[in-house]
Amino acid sequence: MLTKENNDRVTQTGPGTLGGDLLRRYWQPVALSVELKHDEPFAVRIMSEDLVLYRDEQGKPCLIGRRCPHRGVDLSYGRVEDGGLRCLYHGWLLSGDGRCLDQPGEGTASNYKDRIKHKAYPCKEAGGLILAYMGPGDPPNLPKFPFFLAPPERSWTTKIHHDCNYLQGNEGNVDPQHLSYLHRFLDPRQSVDERVNSLLIRDSAPKLEVEETGYGFRLFAARAAAEGEIYIRMSNFIMPNCSAFDGSPLVDPRTGKSRENLGYQMHWHVPIDDDTHWKYTILYGHEIPIDLNWIEKIVFADVDENYQLARNQGNRYQQNRQEMKTMSFAGMGQSFWAHDKFAVEAQGAIVDRSAEHLGTTDKPTMLMRRQLLQAIDAMEAGQDPLFVERDKAANALADMAVLSKVVPEGTDLLSGWWRDFRPKIGPIMEILE
Ligand code: FES
Ligand SMILES: [Fe+2]
């Protein structure tokens, strides 16, 4: 549990809040690349700030305050021209770095425009995401995620709207025990991965170990498997609102079957405000292409053009009691994304963590909260919080791996066993400027 005060610290994300200040010390996704068309400025809300995103005439993303500094007109209606975004009302021209370049009504002799400083945040584009740094001072390095550098056929990115605080989604990613229930299929053949589903329901009390790292922590969940064997899922919490875990549904296109350790999946939970967030989902393949057709046509088929899931609170997630008798534990179809959306939204907009009764399987959740609170303390003491990297050679992620593997019983989870099985993940040391 958390005290009410600490719950507020880690769940409030607006400007000037401690949690919001912490999240702003890291690069955050603000849109998918495909959402931002040339010549079509795009209104975004992130961490309770209303902003407008547009591509400048060179195609580079720019993120500035949505309200015109003159008299507040919404700049997302504006024109991209003359090196900036021009407001439709009186023609003020704002640049991507927050300068006012033109005030037609003031006349050419006026230098009033030089005194205007509009809100503007630096942006980068990588891995199908547009990311912004909304914090103070110089931005840190962009994290060296391999998917940022993967060719398009080896990574796929989308997002799903969630009606709850970002931290609930974040916590769901470091909660391996729920895989044995929420995502359980009564008939394993209905599962995306029959073998893994069988392993997950065979032992619903996984042994958990956590190991703190330079990016957050590693999480090991071990379940009893066949005689003399255990099934381990190794996943990661990446500060402050991201996770990487076993990559189903990553499909081996050579066989058409889902396979372990070909890559991994990431969830990145970015607040829209304190009660809603975008869950960015990234699927990444280390070496071979992922099956984009299968993902788009089947796995994400019920996500609409506004990135809303068909199953939602309003229709009780289309829960089917008959299905609960024969097919799935939750009665909410096959999609893990729908199950997870249900679970974290059903906790309420912002869960009251002072009323919880945590158990042994909540150990990783407790560590996540502790790391976030410690990072806030570090920030308040004037230090960079965990995983804010500035040295160009720094890369805590070089020591990150995601594995799903059956190993001999008795394997010491914290012995570093996984290093022998770590897949080749290609070049990740390049710096994205
Ligand atoms: S309100 Fe934008 S130029 Fe006047
Ligand atoms: Fe889940």
Distances (CA, A) of 66 to 70, 72, 227, 342: 12, 8, 61, 32
Is the Cβ atom of 336 under 6 angstroms away from ligand 1? Answer: no
Give me the phi and psi of 189, to 5 degrees please.
-70, -20
The Å distance, Cα 88 to ligand 1 centre, comes to 7
Q: How confident is the model at residue 255, as a pLDDT?
A: 65
Instruction: Report yes or no on whether pTM surpasses 0.85.
Output: yes
- Placement of tokens 């939602």 in the chain: 312
Please give the order of strands across the beta sheet that includes 100-102: 79-81, 84-86, 93-94, 100-102
Q: Is there an atom of ligand 1 within 6 Å of 70 CB?
A: yes
What is the structure's pLDDT at 189?
75
Q: What is the rounded distance in angstroms from the CA atom of residue 245 to the CA atom of residue 235?
A: 4
> What whole-number distance in Å separates Cα of residue 405 and Cα of residue 177?
16
Q: Which atom of ligand 1 is nearest to the CA of 72?
A: 1
The residue contributing the CA closest to ligand 1 atom 4 is: 90
Instruction: Kindly report the number of other CB atoms within 10 A of residue 271's CB atom.
Output: 28
Instruction: Say how far apart CA 181 and CA 207 lie, in whole Å.
Output: 16
Q: Is 67 in the pocket of ligand 1 (CB under 6 A)?
A: no
Residue 372 has pLDDT above 80, yes or no: yes
169 C-alpha vs ligand 2 centroid, how far in Å? Answer: 9
Structure tokens at 104: 């037609």
Q: What does the pLDDT average to over 220-232?
A: 95
Is pLDDT larger for residue 20 or for residue 302? 20
Residues in the chain, how many?
433
Beta bridge pairs of residue 102: 93
**Cβ 73 under 6 angstroms from ligand 1:** yes
Average pLDDT taken over every residue of the chain: 92
- The whole-number pLDDT of residue 256 equals 63
Q: For residue 171, give the ligand nearest its CA.
A: 2
Structure confidence by residue, pLDDT tens digits, 73-130: 999 999 999 999 999 999 999 999 999 999 999 998 999 999 999 999 999 999 999 9
Overall average pLDDT of the 214-243 stretch: 96
Looking at residue 219, what is its pLDDT?
Answer: 97
Q: Report residue 374 as tokens.
A: 């410690």
- Does pLDDT of 257 surpass 70? no
What is the whole-number distance in angstroms between the Cα of residue 67 and the centre of ligand 1?
Answer: 9
**What pLDDT score was predicted for residue 427?**
46
Q: Whose CA is nearest to atom 3 of ligand 1?
A: 90
Q: In the predicted model, is pLDDT for residue 234 greater than 50? A: yes
Mean per-residue pLDDT for 222-239? Answer: 95
Whether residue 363 has its Cβ less than 6 Å from ligand 1: no
- What local confidence, expressed as pLDDT, does residue 430 receive? 46
Torsion of CA 72, 75, 76, 81, to 10 degrees: 170
Is 87 close to ligand 1, i.e. is its CB under 6 Å away? Answer: yes
Domain ranges of the chain: 28-132, 146-421
Distance 336 CA to ligand 2 centre (A): 6
What architecture does CATH give domain 146-421? Answer: Alpha-Beta Complex (3.90)
The CATH number of the domain covering residues in 28-132: 2.102.10.10
In the predicted model, what is the mean pLDDT of residues 19-35?
98
325, 331, 335, 337: CA torsion to nearest 10: -140
**Residue 432 in this model has a pLDDT that exceeds 50:** no
Of the chain, the percentage scoring pLDDT greater than 90 comes to: 78
* Ligand 1 atom at shortest distance from the alpha carbon of 75: 2
| CA pair distance 166, 147, nearest whole angstrom | 22
Ligand 1 in reach of 100 Cβ (< 6 A): no
Q: Starting from the CA of residue 72, give the closest ligand.
A: 1
3-state helix/strand/coil string of the chain: CCCHHHHHHHHCCCCCCHHHHHHCCCCEEEEEHHHCCCCCCEEEEECCEEEEEEECCCCCEEEEECECCCCCCEHHHCEEECCEEECCCCCCEECCCCEEEECHHHCCCCCHHHHCECCEECEEEECCEEEECCCCCCCCCCCCCHHHCCCHHHEEEEEEEECCCHHHHHHHCCCHHHHHCCCCECCHHHCCCHHHHHHHHHCCCCEEEEEECCCEEEEEEEEECCCCEEEEEEEEEECCCEEEEECCCCEECCCCEECCCCEEEEEEEEECCCCCEEEEEEEEECCCCCCHHHHHHHHCCCECCCCCECCCHHHHHHCCHHHHHHCECCCCCCCHHHHHHHHHHCCCCCCCHHHCCCCHHHHHHHHHHHHHHHHHHHHHCCCCCCCCCCCCCCCHHHHCCCEEEEEECCCCCCCCHHHHHCCCCCCCCCCCC
**How remote is the CA of residue 132 from the centroid of ligand 1, in Å?**
25
Higher pLDDT, 20 or 188: 20
Closest CA relative to residue 384, chosen from 135, 173, 189, 146 = 135
What's the pLDDT tens digit per position in 303-358?
999 999 999 999 999 999 999 999 999 999 988 899 999 999 999 999 999 999 99
- Which pLDDT does position 248 carry in this prediction? 56
Task: Read off the pLDDT band of 54 (50, 70, 90).
Answer: very high
